[in-house]
Structure 1
Amino acid sequence: MKKLMAAMLAGVLLAAFSPVFANGANEGSGEKVTLTMGSWRTDDVAQITALLKEYKKVKPNVTIEFKPTINVDYNATLRLQLESGTGPDLMYARSYATGAKLLMDGYFADVSDIPGLKSNFTAGNRAPWTAADGRNFAVPFNAIVQVVYYNKDIFKKAGVAVPQTWEDFLAACDKLKKAGITPIANGLADEWDINECFMMGILPGFVGGAEGRRAYESGKVPLNDAKMVSAFQAMADVAKYCPNGFAALTYNDSIALFATGQAAMWVDGSWNAGAFKDVNFEWGTFVPPAPAGKKAAVCFHPDTGMAYNKASKHVQECKDFLAWLCTVQGATVCAEFMPTGFFPMINAPIKLKDAHANEILALTTGKLQDARFVWERFMDGDPSGYVLMNQGVIAVMKGEKTAKQAADALAAGVAKWYKP
């Protein structure tokens, strides 16, 4: 009888622990599975493929194929894929309303129970991928910083210091222009970048970071108040420091102007830090400065979450990958292989190899922080706050509207659908 009881006890223990072993970090005897990963980052094939090969060392039976879509087509393409049943197993998730809608429509799975999500990420870092009902629809994957790239050699030769206030910034632009140098490489032809990178890069400093933005969202402050007008005016003021014919200048044109030393500065995102590794001049970055008397603030934007398809045939393998992203080990690997200028959001110190990436990340220390202004509450209605702001920025830079008119149009358009 004792032998029988011992055998039964051993069987119970084996059954109890077998799931742990089945999902162990180095388990390699399972069925071979291939997952697909959707993304809007077509430039990152080499880096993300290398990252996914590292994951294969953890789960040898799982292969993840990276299948990105052109950025501007991603939202529409992904929805069509999900609606037709051909969506990827794993996918990059937009933050806030755009991503949350795919959860509410039944396409993204609820990832709230992924191990490590709540213990290794702060509530603030989970919030961009948390729906109104409290469900998490993606694991935080990376964040980006809106910065001003500057040519150190040009600054030194022209006797220009890194500006500490917005007024200093305009004075630096004026000094550079008088020296025959194009101060700013930005243009308008692609439209999105002058809004997302420039306008939303300066807004935290003009309105007071996240707290200031929430005052607009709560209705305590109107969208055409003096601070918003001053931000539109700031965009009008920089127009004369952009290249000749800047209205027809594309995003790639701007990159080329800065990379070839034909412009002293370029206002963009940290995701392009790797594009300048082979330039023949010294460069650095600084945060778009706030007006004199206001606190320094930075747009540290929650850019990418990782979601999985509720209809995937390999749900457990998808959940295993997301759980790995929620570990310090996974975040460390991601930091090593992720493209330069994308930063892990896990609540742990992660060392970055690239000197410029470390410099950019250091810029966020000691400053007010916020996401892009319209992302959380003003993005999803009709007319979208994003579109209204974009139109306003372009109009003031072309001299077609005053800053007050642009702010009034933003406030009036959003008021048609937004209720605090």
Structure 2
Amino acid sequence: MKRLTHAMAVSLAAASALTLTAAGARAETIAADPNAQVEYSGTLQILTKFGLEQLSPYFVNLAADYQKLHPDVKIELIQESDDSVKGKTKTLVASNSLPDIYFSWTGSWGGNFVRGNRAVDLTPVIGPDTDWGKTLVPAAVQAFQYNGKYFGIPLYLDAKFMGYNKKIFAEAGVEAPASFEALLAGCDKIKAKGVTPISFGNKEAWPAVHYAGQLLAFNVPRATLEKDFDPKQATYDDPGYVASLQQFKALIDRCTDGASVNGTSYASALQQLSNGKSAMYYQEIIEFDQAASKETTLKPEEFGFFVLPVPEGAKGDAKAVEGAPEGYMISAASKNIPLAIDFMKFATSAEHGQILSAPPYGQPSATVGGASEATMSPSVVNGLAALKSASYLMPWLDTANSPRVAAAWLSNLQALVGGSMTPEEVMAKVKDAAAADAK
């Protein structure tokens, strides 16, 4: 009952993203003025996604450095975690109190702010031909493009990989798998040794979406996926959808602690890998330095990673990797847009990018020259190399899709994990949600 209650709560919370374009939205788009003079005074409020203890010092130090240069500027930080930032953002939107600078994902999530004219059009200052735009990774800037204009400032690059404990693998006689089927067989061997093969926490519901997204990229052609992201075109009739969810359920049953993972947080699952209690954890590259460090049981030299392997017979893109840049937008309601832009230029300098990319943060900078192999951990360096060789970055399902469809993926995949729904039933719910959003 608790699991079902939580699933419904997730669904309602995700659906409330619809309010991002509701009351308080501006009548027209505000565009940045590249010639505006910056007044270094007043207060800037910033909503970050750096609320975790290991990450929070980054923006604290960044703000302090900026204030040293400009003593008449006061910076107020609202630091949230990967999960809590969603609820906080919706609350701020509902009360028409978005801060000057706020975190945003790409895809439909960022598109909500654009449609509601809540985000400043940054094209005149961050477009590909501008001085600032040329300092950033082009693909990262393009990810925040809507209707031919640029609305976001990419801060770091992100993608999903299976992190693993090399020592546990060796003791179980398992190698990094070359296929999805080999991954399942490896799980069987690791489980026989009395170790949890994959620690998985799905209390927040979005971790299941990440598994599904990568498998969908493997099993469903890219053109079909991108067509189905639009509710008005979506059909969801490709057999790769159900096949992906069948594969995901097999992984849940053979590699994890089963239905109970719906009561475990993603942070706890990461901690299991760090403490040497599990062999694998499916994680973002920005979590590599949290998973293995000098302070954790799992040491950096014992940490390895691989892209979730491709299932046999998959008809999608075998070289696709799930991931997307993440960054910030500037509120159209800000009273000091030039100052907000100036701060973000400061934040995306190569110097600060190198700090962000190195331990203990390990967030690969989206700034050209912002990632130095000399200071980054080897795993993050290798992760970036794998990311750059990917043929396609599969966006997160819960940010690429419309709010109602995202909610359907979140709640119904959680039900699949818990064993109360079949893959076919999940896809029927997703299809219904797309049809409702298309009206």
Taking structure 2 as the reference length, what is the TM-score of the superposition? Answer: 0.77
1:79-129 Cα offsets, whole Å, 9 max, x none, are: 544565643222222322322322333332221111435434466433332
Contact 1:37/1:89 (8 A) holds in 2: yes
User: How many angstroms does 1:159 deviate by?
Assistant: 0.8
**Aligned match of 1:298:** 321
**Aligned match of 1:92:** 103
Q: Which amino acid aligns with 1:409?
A: K
Of residues 258, 266, 270, the one that matches 1:251 is 266
Provide the rounded CA distance (Å) in 2 between the counterparts of 1:66 and 1:131: 27
**Aligned match of 1:13:** none
Structure-to-structure mapping, 1:3-82, within 5 angstroms = 31-43=40-52, 44-55=55-66, 62-81=73-92
Compared CA separation, residues 125 and 400, structure 1 to 2 (3 A): same
Provide the rounded CA distance (Å) in 2 between the counterparts of 1:214 and 1:198: 18
User: How many angstroms does 1:267 deviate by?
Assistant: 1.3
Structure-to-structure mapping, 1:199-218, within 5 angstroms = 199-208=212-221, 210-211=222-223, 213-217=225-229
Q: Which amino acid aligns with 1:151?
A: N
Of residues 149, 155, 169, the one that matches 2:183 is 169
Provide the rounded CA distance (Å) in 1 between the counterparts of 2:277 and 2:67: 44
| Residue 238 (str. 1) matches residue 260 (str. 2) | no
User: How many angstroms does 1:236 deviate by?
Assistant: 0.9
Compared CA separation, residues 81 and 220, structure 1 to 2 (3 A): closer
**Aligned match of 1:6:** none
**Aligned match of 1:369:** 392
Of residues 368, 371, 392, the one that matches 1:350 is 371
1:319-375 Cα offsets, whole Å, 9 max, x none, are: 2223445654564454358821x2223455732422221122122243322232535
Please, which runs of 5 or more residues in structure 2 have no aligned partner? Answer: 1-33
Q: Which amino acid aligns with 1:91?
A: Y
Q: Secondary structure at the match of 1:367?
A: coil
Provide the rounded CA distance (Å) in 2 between the counterparts of 1:36 and 1:220: 39
1:217-253 Cα offsets, whole Å, 9 max, x none, are: 4788842421111110011101222126334323233
Of residues 171, 174, 188, the one that matches 1:157 is 171
Provide the rounded CA distance (Å) in 1 between the counterparts of 2:262 and 2:43: 46
Provide the rounded CA distance (Å) in 2 between the counterparts of 1:141 and 1:285: 23
**Aligned match of 2:285:** 270
Q: Secondary structure at the match of 1:417?
A: helix
Provide the rounded CA distance (Å) in 2 between the counterparts of 1:389 and 1:80: 22
Provide the rounded CA distance (Å) in 2 between the counterparts of 1:373 and 1:86: 27
Provide the rounded CA distance (Å) in 2 between the counterparts of 1:68 and 1:301: 21
Provide the rounded CA distance (Å) in 1 between the counterparts of 2:114 and 2:227: 27
Provide the rounded CA distance (Å) in 1 between the counterparts of 2:279 and 2:162: 10
**Aligned match of 2:17:** none
- Using the TM superposition, name which of 233-242 and 387-396 deviates more: 387-396
Q: Secondary structure at the match of 2:437?
A: coil
Contact 2:320/2:394 (8 A) holds in 1: no
Q: Secondary structure at the match of 1:316?
A: helix
Compared CA separation, residues 293 and 189, structure 1 to 2 (3 A): same
Q: Which amino acid aligns with 1:262?
A: K
Provide the rounded CA distance (Å) in 2 between the counterparts of 1:418 and 1:104: 16
Provide the rounded CA distance (Å) in 2 between the counterparts of 1:45 and 1:397: 32
Give the aligned length.
Answer: 386
Compared CA separation, residues 280 and 413, structure 1 to 2 (3 A): same
Contact 1:50/1:337 (8 A) holds in 2: no
1:232-283 Cα offsets, whole Å, 9 max, x none, are: 0011101222126334323233123222222111112223222231222312
**Aligned match of 2:405:** 385
Compared CA separation, residues 67 and 159, structure 1 to 2 (3 A): same
Contact 2:118/2:332 (8 A) holds in 1: yes
Q: Secondary structure at the match of 1:113?
A: helix
Of residues 145, 155, 164, the one that matches 2:159 is 145
Provide the rounded CA distance (Å) in 2 between the counterparts of 1:122 and 1:379: 27
Provide the rounded CA distance (Å) in 2 between the counterparts of 1:387 and 1:101: 15
Provide the rounded CA distance (Å) in 2 between the counterparts of 1:220 and 1:266: 35
Please, which runs of 5 or more residues in structure 1 have no aligned partner? Answer: 1-18, 24-29
Compared CA separation, residues 177 and 81, structure 1 to 2 (3 A): closer
**Aligned match of 1:414:** 434
Contact 1:158/1:176 (8 A) holds in 2: yes
Taking structure 1 as the reference length, what is the TM-score of the superposition? Answer: 0.80
Q: Secondary structure at the match of 1:144?
A: coil
